[in-house]
């Protein structure tokens, strides 16, 4: 479902929609989208993009594009034969993506965009490529087929503020390094191809050989059917480093947040994770490594300041391939609220959870199906109980942490 509640008393949008899951991997066998060649030359398009200094008003929670050198524009009223200027925009994101270069911001106007998106071109450390919905969740991507609604292979790429849904098993699959997936609403993936070994996820850092994929401030929900597919998750990460911050994840088929394969040195902080999986499948957060590529150890991974609530089976779990110890040094599980799971933690001498709160978080309006207000009441036991190390400096709405004596747990900083 796509219910939401907005809170604008302080001119900030606090919208939550029944959000869901991150898919597992399969980084091979992906079909490439094809495009037709427009009448306008690439030289004309690039020249127009460089000359166009107009920038659109962005939602306050999105990252500004002030450092962009080039600007390309996409609108439902456009044409891929246009030069991609603000007055003559492209019609598809994929067309703009094919002409992007380091330093480009692709501005996408509100509207519904049918079809899958592919972004392949890489930016650089000093000139990223940014794809931005100029109104948060205003650009709605409705994908097709059983696979990936948005496939990114471009390093140093940002995907910010989109609404993404469809029949496939992955909302955003990222196969690149130094990426940012921020402020998106990924929801109601129906996984129409069924439960397969390829798995699925709302947002997925899928390549074992890439690194530094940040997944920040997204709302992910209804990814498959809770309890139906063990390999379909809310947020999934299978590689080195990366920050999973300030996300709200619920009603994923199996796990809300899942680390596996070649995951290592990942920071999971200040997420709100609830109602994922079922009584015998999945749970809130799982960290570990296993399967391909093999021989990996999970080290220096931090799970802090999260609210993990009413996930029926597991709360926070760590695991490895059967019969193997995959847990190395430096892993921390601390200052989390975990309640409402039949197995809150998996016992292990190498990772001991500390400063855990076992109590109702007292959301302003908790609805397990989504559409509630997942900020905290002032009487919540999660207020001012966070640790500063490893935590994000702002919350899901861009509010600076801490607001009071210490950080609050979960995606919102309230008091």
pLDDT at 20 over 80: no
**How far is residue 245's CA from residue 214's CA, in Å, rounded to a whole number?**
8
As a whole number of Å, the end-to-end CA separation of the chain is: 30
Residue 41 pLDDT class (50, 70, 90 cuts): low
Which residue in this structure is represented by tokens 């680390």? 259
pLDDT at 38 over 90: no
Mean of per-residue pLDDT scores for the chain: 87
pLDDT tens track for 87-126: 999 999 999 999 999 999 999 999 999 999 999 999 999 9
**pLDDT at res. 58:** 33
Residue pair 284/308 in contact (Cβ under 8 Å)? The answer is yes
User: What is the 8-class DSSP label of residue 129?
Assistant: E
pLDDT at 83 over 50: yes
Residue pair 46/227 in contact (Cβ under 8 Å)? The answer is no
Taking residues 299-312, what's their average pLDDT?
A: 98
**pLDDT at res. 35:** 36
Residue 353 pLDDT class (50, 70, 90 cuts): very high
pLDDT at 212 over 60: yes
Question: Lowest mean pLDDT: which of 2-16, 183-197, 331-345?
Answer: 2-16
pLDDT at 32 over 90: no
- Half-sphere exposure at residue 94, Cβ-oriented, CA atoms within 13 angstroms: 18
**How far is residue 133's CA from residue 85's CA, in Å, rounded to a whole number?**
16
Question: Lowest mean pLDDT: which of 29-38, 240-249, 389-398?
Answer: 29-38
Residues facing residue 223 across a β-bridge: 189, 252
| Residue 279 neighbours by CB under 8 Å, 6+ apart | 227, 312, 313, 342
Taking residues 354-367, what's their average pLDDT?
A: 98
Which residue in this structure is represented by tokens 């309640």? 339
**How far is residue 262's CA from residue 163's CA, in Å, rounded to a whole number?**
29
Taking residues 48-72, what's their average pLDDT?
A: 51
Residue 346 pLDDT class (50, 70, 90 cuts): confident
Residue pair 200/236 in contact (Cβ under 8 Å)? The answer is no
**How far is residue 75's CA from residue 330's CA, in Å, rounded to a whole number?**
47
**pLDDT at res. 105:** 98
Percent of the chain whose predicted confidence (pLDDT) is above 70: 84
**pLDDT at res. 410:** 98
pLDDT tens track for 377-409: 999 999 999 999 999 999 999 999 999 999 999
DSSP strand pairing (363-365 vs 373-376): antiparallel
């Amino acid at each position: 479902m796509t219910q939401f509640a907005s809170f604008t008393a302080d001119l900030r949008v606090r919208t939550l929609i029944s959000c869901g899951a991150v898919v597992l991997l399969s980084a091979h066998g992906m079909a490439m989208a094809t495009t037709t060649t427009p009448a306008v030359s690439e030289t004309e398009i690039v020249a127009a993009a460089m000359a166009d200094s107009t920038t659109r008003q962005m939602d306050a929670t999105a990252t500004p594009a002030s450092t962009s050198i080039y600007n390309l524009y996409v609108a439902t009223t456009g044409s891929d034969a246009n030069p991609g200027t603000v007055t003559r925009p492209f019609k598809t994101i994929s067309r703009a993506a094919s002409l992007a270069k380091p330093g480009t911001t692709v501005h996408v106007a509100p509207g519904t965009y049918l079809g899958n998106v592919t972004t392949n071109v890489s930016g650089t450390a000093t000139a990223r490529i940014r794809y931005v919905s100029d109104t948060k969740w205003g650009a709605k991507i409705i994908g097709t087929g059983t696979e990936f609604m948005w496939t990114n292979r471009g390093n140093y790429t940002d995907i910010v503020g989109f609404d993404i849904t469809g029949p496939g098993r992955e909302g955003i699959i990222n196969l690149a390094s130094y990426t940012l997936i921020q402020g998106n609403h990924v929801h109601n993936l129906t996984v129409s191809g069924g439960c397969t070994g390829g798995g699925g996820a709302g947002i997925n850092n899928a390549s074992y050989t890439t690194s530094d994929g940040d997944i920040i401030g997204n709302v992910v929900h209804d990814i498959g059917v809770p309890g139906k597919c063990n390999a379909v998750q809310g947020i999934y990460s299978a590689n080195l480093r990366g920050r999973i911050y300030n996300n709200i994840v619920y009603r994923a088929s199996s796990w809300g947040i899942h680390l596996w394969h070649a995951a290592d040195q990942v920071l999971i902080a200040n997420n709100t994770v609830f109602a994922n999986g079922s009584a015998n499948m999945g749970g809130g957060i799982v960290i570990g490594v296993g399967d391909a590529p093999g021989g990996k150890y999970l080290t220096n991974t931090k799970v802090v300041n999260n609210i993990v609530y009413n996930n029926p089976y597991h709360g926070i779990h760590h695991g490895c391939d059967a019969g193997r110890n995959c847990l190395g040094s430096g892993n921390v599980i601390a200052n989390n609220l975990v309640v409402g799971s039949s197995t809150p933690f998996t016992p292990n001498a190498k990772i001991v959870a500390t400063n855990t709160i076992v109590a109702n978080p007292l959301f302003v309006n908790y609805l397990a199906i989504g559409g509630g207000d997942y900020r905290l009441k002032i009487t919540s036991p999660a207020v001012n109980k966070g640790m500063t190390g490893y935590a994000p400096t702002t919350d899901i709405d861009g509010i600076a942490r801490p607001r009071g004596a210490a950080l609050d747990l979960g995606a919102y900083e309230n008091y």
